[in-house]
């Protein structure tokens, strides 16, 4: 099997600005567990929104020869010294059907 590369440039999060976003104590980040994989194997993609738990899963764009499947959300709430923080993480699996270099384009998030 041939290797392929998944380009993961700040995945997207254009949430009204480029890169990692801060607005009213919200922040958004995205990460993958690996950037190179074998055709047919899967990569985990996690998009985390901090400052809320009321967001819906992102609709990722269709990319030729790349299957992106939503798996599940995970929510986190903590209180430290009276300060509450919360976040929601959306978990996706990404699988390439063909060798190549793939890029997930910038997207917008509405909170």
Task: Give the C-alpha separation, 58 to 107, whole Å.
Answer: 9
The DSSP result for 50-82, as a single string, is ES-S-PPPP-PPPBTTEEEEEEEEEEEEEEETT
What is this structure's pTM?
Answer: 0.73
Estimate to the nearest angstrom the gap between the alpha carbon of 5 and the chain centroid: 17
Dihedral sign, Cα of residue 16, residue 91, residue 71, residue 95: positive
For residues 77 and 83, the answer to whether their CB atoms sit within 8 Å is no
Phi–psi pair at 26, nearest 5 degrees: -95, 145
Q: Sheet containing 36-38: which strands, arranged edge to edge?
A: 36-38, 3-7, 101-103
Q: How confident is the model over 32-88, as pLDDT tens digits?
A: 898 888 898 999 999 999 988 888 888 888 899 999 999 999 999 999 998 888 999
Q: What is the distance between the alpha carbons of residues 88 and 17, in angstroms, rounded to a whole number?
A: 20
Which residues are within 8 A (CB) of 59 and not within 5 positions of it... i.e. 6 or more apart? Answer: none
Q: Could you read off the pLDDT of 3-44 as tens digits, one per residue?
A: 444 444 433 333 333 334 444 588 888 898 988 888 989 999
């Amino acid at each position: 099997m041939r290797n392929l590369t998944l380009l993961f440039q700040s995945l997207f999060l254009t949430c009204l600005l480029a890169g990692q976003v801060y607005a009213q104590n919200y922040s958004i980040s995205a990460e993958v567990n690996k950037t190179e994989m074998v055709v047919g194997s899967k990569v985990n993609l996690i998009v985390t929104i901090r400052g809320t738990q009321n967001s819906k899963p992102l609709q990722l764009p269709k990319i030729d020869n790349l299957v992106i499947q939503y798996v599940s959300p995970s929510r986190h709430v903590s209180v430290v010294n009276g300060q509450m923080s919360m976040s929601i993480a959306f978990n996706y699996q990404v699988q390439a059907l063909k060798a190549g270099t793939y890029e997930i384009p910038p997207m917008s998030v509405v909170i």
